[in-house]
């Protein structure tokens, strides 16, 4: 039963357009917002983040009801939509703003650390996971044109070539959670 007590989770795993599309289609997620995390400057712009000088990472803030979808499922989706073994790159998107990171509370980071240990023990990715586990930091929403990019541009070449295959993996792997 929904609690109406929303929690927020913060995931960085490549282009935020991909990540936002994957999380926003999950039952129990009320919103997924593209933005920036982890840098030193307040209210960075996309151009500033892409310069690599701000220290920010493209991120998605996931607002969810933990009574409907547990944090562990969100972690599993995170590890499904990207390759956590590549540093500062996801596919053709390269730069420090595309690194793999989870920002969270002590409990969330402990859960992420345990999940990483299990994935590495099981050899799921065949290489060490380089996902950074970081304490909470200010989240800055991205510009309006980045919000719901996939929903507004499904036929764009990037969406068809990059986002659609990721969504297919999530849709197939998380059928019970997909809206």
Catalytic residue list? 15
- Segment holding 37, helix H or strand E: strand 29-37
Rounded Cα gap, residues 66 and 45, in angstroms:
31
Rounded Cα gap, residues 11 and 143, in angstroms:
18
Rounded Cα gap, residues 165 and 118, in angstroms:
25
CB 110, CB 135: distance < 8 Å: no
């Amino acid at each position: 039963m929904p609690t109406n007590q929303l929690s927020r989770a913060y995931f960085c795993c490549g282009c935020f357009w991909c990540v936002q599309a994957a999380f926003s289609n999950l039952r129990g997620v009320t919103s997924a917002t593209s933005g920036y995390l982890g840098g030193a400057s307040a209210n960075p712009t996309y151009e500033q983040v892409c310069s690599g000088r701000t220290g920010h990472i493209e991120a998605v803030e996931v607002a969810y009801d933990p009574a409907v979808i547990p944090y562990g499922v969100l972690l599993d989706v995170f590890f499904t939509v990207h390759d956590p073994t590549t540093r500062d790159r996801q596919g053709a998107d390269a730069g420090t703003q595309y690194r793999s990171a989870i920002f969270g509370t002590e409990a969330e980071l402990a859960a992420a650390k345990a999940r990483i240990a299990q994935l590495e023990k099981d050899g799921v990715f065949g290489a060490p996971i380089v996902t950074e586990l970081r304490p909470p930091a200010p989240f800055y929403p991205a510009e309006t044109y980045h919000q719901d990019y996939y929903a507004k541009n499904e036929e764009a070449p990037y969406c068809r070539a990059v986002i659609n295959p990721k969504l297919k993996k999530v849709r197939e792997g998380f059928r019970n959670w997909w809206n």
